[in-house]
Amino acid sequence: MEVVIQPMNLFESEICVDCGKPCHMGSGRFVNRYAYYGDEVEGWRCGECSAELDRLQEELGFDL
């Protein structure tokens, strides 16, 4: 028997998967949001969190 775990879908709630702030139309984060598909959760990542992750990756020398 194979156990399949489905990630929690946060697309309809329109909150950022990282900071939990709203990223719906009119929130100021709607335009710069990105779809995120992870093992445990899937939904939107706001532009602020995405920019912060990009800076961290550059500082730590990760090359994607």
Question: What's the pLDDT score for residue 62?
Answer: 75
Helices (H) and strands (E) in the chain, counts: 1, 3
Is the Cα torsion angle 19, 23, 28, 29 positive or negative in sign? positive
Read off the pLDDT band of 64 (50, 70, 90): low
Question: What is the reported pLDDT for 63?
Answer: 66
**pLDDT by residue (tens digit) across 12-26?**
999 999 999 999 999
Domain ranges of the chain: 8-60
pLDDT at 16: 97
For 30-56, what is each residue's pLDDT tens digit?
999 999 999 999 999 999 999 999 999
